[in-house]
Amino acid sequence: MNSERDYGDLMQFLLYFKEQYSDEDEFNRFVMKSLRSFVYDLRDLGVYISISPQSLQWPPASMAVENSMTE
């Protein structure tokens, strides 16, 4: 991850836990699990977010999205 980038509050919170994981894949699984829980919790506030199954695959989908945003 780019340490020079300014991330939002949620990402900063997730990155706080990064050193607890032995590798990037394990951390990514933690992030995805946390994100899924967050999406479900938001429903209690009337906020509905959907995540496509393809976006849950790490890292190929995230790399494809990132690449499309920079092109």
In order, the DSSP letters of 7-23 are: --HHHHHHHHTGGGSSS
Helix or strand holding residue 61 (H, E): helix 60-70
Asked if pLDDT for residue 44 goes beyond 70, the answer is: yes
Q: What is the mean pLDDT of residues 31-55?
A: 85
Read off the pLDDT of each residue in 17-36 and give the average, rounded to a whole number. 92
pTM over 0.75: no
Look at residue 3 and tell me whether its pLDDT is greater than 60. Answer: no
Mean pLDDT score, 21-30: 92
